[in-house]
Structure 1
């Protein structure tokens, strides 16, 4: 199931590409102003994005570890977390399919934390080397995002720190193409993520997987 979780998380990241462009696209474009003149922007862009994905992986490992501790202490916690994760994944599928947008309200939960850590990113500007773009991306990985939070509940219910990290790695890698396309000015690729058919297919695939997880969790409780 871990491979399926990684692939499903990858699809979530791909399907959420439009949302990622809206949330982080401006940051990606702003990297051009922080990149030394005459330097190739690609190493800086990759470093920033891998820093962002690294934060996702760390968060996934932490939440997965917390879920493991909770399940070891109280066995019934596992199925309960799985049910909660399934519900959040259904909400995510509804968001990606544009059937229901309530998930955006979840983003307000991390706003206070973001206000505290966002100013730290200014310490790394302008970039002196691609390496300095990595911690900058790590900070921006904590930008409040309903899709990230929903995927983290999935990591929480995964059962182990490794599984949680794998899920968030899949999600982060899935967001990469859209943001790289914006940075490179590849409008044809960016527009591909906006195609209703593409989003509907990904949303339906995620909905099927979420219902499968929910059914498995409810069967365990019974």
Structure 2
């Protein structure tokens, strides 16, 4: 089951490219625009390497936040299970995880936008973290970029919340962290591209066909998760 969860989380991040562009492309583009100039000349390759070093650092911080969140919710779920000795609560959580994944797939496919209501709940936390993000600007070093990415990782995002329910349902701190690590790695290609070649890739991932196929893949994973949980519950 753990291999299925981790593989599924990676694919969720990968197929959620359209959502990532909608949520974060502006933020990544603004971040890229205010990066300091490279110290060694202005050759195109030096500029690209310089930009990628900051973007990788930024995304490393973001993925670290995802992994930390997954570890915390997975560990908390395990502790609650031991504390209250609930036999079937993990199966109920897996049902919720499956429903969340289906809702996310419907949103990405532009069929139903109910997941946005959950994103609004995260605005409370983000409003308290937003001043920290503004405080470290402008970013001058890769280490500052990592810190900025760790703050950015808490940006309200239905795709993140949906995958976090898998971490909760895992009932294990290590598995919960690995699920979110895999998810973060899956989002990496889209968000790295958002900083380097955002316009062309954005047009591609926002295409109706791509969004529909991505949404159907996520709905499929959600349905599979739901089926496994219900079968075990019975």
Does TM, normalized by the shorter one, top 0.5? yes
Q: Does 1:152 find its partner at 2:174?
A: no
What is the CA–CA distance in structure 2 between the aligned matches of 1:219 and 1:56, rounded to whole Å? Answer: 30
* 1:173 corresponding residue in structure 2: 185
Q: Could you tell me which of 19, 40, 56 is aligned with 1:46?
A: 56
What is the CA–CA distance in structure 2 between the aligned matches of 1:79 and 1:38, rounded to whole Å? Answer: 52
More displaced, 177-186 or 126-135?
Answer: 177-186
> Is the partner of 1:197 in helix, strand or coil?
helix
Whether the 8 Å contact between 1:181 and 1:187 is mirrored in structure 2 is no
Q: Does 1:207 find its partner at 2:224?
A: no
Q: Structure 2: which 5+ residue stretches go unaligned? A: 40-49
* 2:109 corresponding residue in structure 1: 97
Shift of 1:140: 0.8
CA displacement, residues 107-160 of structure 1 (integer Å, 9 cap, x when unaligned) = 110111111111111232222311110011100110111111111111100121
Q: Does 1:65 find its partner at 2:75?
A: yes
Shift of 1:71: 2.6
Shift of 1:199: 3.1
* 1:135 corresponding residue in structure 2: 147
**Number of residue-to-residue matches in the alignment:** 222
What is the CA–CA distance in structure 1 between the aligned matches of 2:59 and 2:152, rounded to whole Å? Answer: 9
> Is the partner of 1:157 in helix, strand or coil?
helix
What is the CA–CA distance in structure 1 between the aligned matches of 2:231 and 2:190, rounded to whole Å? Answer: 38
CA displacement, residues 64-114 of structure 1 (integer Å, 9 cap, x when unaligned) = 112222333322211111111111111112122222111111111011111
Shift of 1:194: 2.2
Superposition CA RMSD, Å: 1.7
TM-score (norm 1): 0.92
What is the CA–CA distance in structure 2 between the aligned matches of 1:150 and 1:31, rounded to whole Å? Answer: 26
* 2:32 corresponding residue in structure 1: 32
* 1:84 corresponding residue in structure 2: 96
* 1:217 corresponding residue in structure 2: 229
* 1:197 corresponding residue in structure 2: 209
